[in-house]
Each structure stands twice: as C-alpha cells, then as structure tokens.
Amino acid sequence: MADTKIIVNCETGEVSEVELTAEEIKQREADAIAYAKAKADEEQAAAEKAEAKAAIADRLGLTPDELALLFA
C-alpha cells in the first residue's frame, strides 16, 4: 500500500487521506538523510571536544574532574 498523508482543510473542515507524490517521497528521504547527518556531526563534534579537554587535562596533570572543577 502506498504511503499516505492526512490533510485537514481548515476552511471547510474536510479531512482527506491522499497518497504521497514522488516529490514528497523524495523530500522525505532527503529530510531523513539530513537529520541523520546533523546528528552524526553533532556527536562527532562533542566527541572531539571531549577528547581535546582530556588532552588539556593530561598536559596539565589534572584529572577531568579537577579540570571541570576549575571552570565550575
């Protein structure tokens, strides 16, 4: 069965269920890819930041907890 969308016409109150167009299916796929990429980028940035912090703490001879305490 083809995927459908639910449309509420707020002017008439009519509710209908229609099949997605090819363009809408394409958009949906693009949205999912963009979302996954954004999440992956954020996770990578967070991991790099944590790694950089750990490297600084190491250079200073501090534990990560001690370093965090300095900026608390």
Partner 1 sequence: MATYIQIGSTVTVGAGGAANIDFTSIPSTYTDLVVKVCGRTNRAAVFDDILISFNGSTASFTGRELYGDGAAAASITTARAASIATGANATASTFGNSEIYVPNYAGSANKSFSVDGVQETNATTAYAIMIAGLWSNTAAINQVTLTPSVGTLFSQYSTASLYGISKS
Q: List contacts with partner 1 (CB under 8 A).
A: 1, 3-13, 15, 17, 20, 24, 27-28, 31-32, 34-36, 38, 42
Q: What type of residue sits at position 70? A: L
Sequence length of the chain is 72
- What is the smallest separation between the CB atom of 52 and partner 1, expressed in angstroms? 17
The smaller minimum CB distance to partner 1, of residues 10 and 70, is found at 10
The smaller minimum CB distance to partner 1, of residues 41 and 66, is found at 41
Q: Which residue has the tokens 């269920």?
A: 17
- What is the smallest separation between the CB atom of 30 and partner 1, expressed in angstroms? 9
Q: Which residue has the tokens 């001690």?
A: 66
- Report the C-alpha gap between 1 and 46 in whole angstroms: 41
